[in-house]
């Protein structure tokens, strides 16, 4: 491994460590002053989601990209399709997730929906929705 690669790895690990420390400190204050503790899993997911959002905003790639139009297509026969979505309220640090399981012909099989009381970003909500959907499967 070259020196440049190991340096980048150290910087990346240090950034993750700082973000985790910040989230633990924020959770400590939230627990102490507002009696709103978060689980360790939510803290870790939130810290990495915040770090990813921060790095994306501050990266050198500032070129706007045209959004790609997504078109729903049915899955192949005998396959199940999981469609998930999430909502995020940044000023309240909460959101909600939901998903639908359908067969290859688009027929409804199962669904889920639930609130997410403590969340840090839309990405964290989306990841929680995916995890909930996989748990459903």
Q: Which of 34, 60, 86 is the last residue before a domain boundary?
A: 60
Structural domain span for residue 37: 1-60
Q: How far is CA 62 from CA 49, 58, 65, 126, in A?
A: 20, 9, 9, 24
Cα separation, 32 vs 117, whole angstroms? 18
Does residue 26 share a domain with residue 79? no
Cα separation, 64 vs 62, whole angstroms? 6
pLDDT, average across residues 95-102: 92
In-domain check, residue 90: yes
Model pLDDT, residue 51: 79
In-domain check, residue 69: no
In-domain check, residue 31: yes
Cα separation, 57 vs 75, whole angstroms? 35
pLDDT band at 137 (very low <50, low <70, confident <90, very high): confident
Give the global pTM: 0.47
Q: Which of 28, 60, 92 is the last residue before a domain boundary?
A: 60
Does residue 137 share a domain with residue 98? yes
pLDDT digits (tens, 9 = 90+) for 19-42: 888 888 888 888 888 888 888 777
């Amino acid at each position: 491994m070259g020196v440049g690669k190991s340096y980048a790895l150290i910087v990346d690990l240090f950034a993750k460590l700082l973000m985790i420390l910040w989230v633990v400190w924020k959770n400590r204050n939230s627990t102490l002053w507002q009696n709103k503790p978060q689980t360790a899993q939510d803290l870790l997911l939130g810290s990495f989601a915040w770090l990813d959002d921060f790095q994306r905003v501050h990266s050198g790639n500032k070129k706007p990209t045209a959004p790609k139009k997504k078109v729903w297509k049915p899955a192949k026969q005998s396959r199940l399709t999981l469609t998930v979505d999430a909502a995020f309220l940044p000023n309240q640090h909460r959101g909600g997730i939901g998903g639908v399981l359908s067969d290859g012909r688009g027929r409804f099989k199962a669904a889920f929906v639930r609130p997410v009381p403590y969340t840090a970003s839309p990405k964290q909500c989306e990841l929680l929705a995916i995890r909930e959907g996989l748990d459903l499967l």
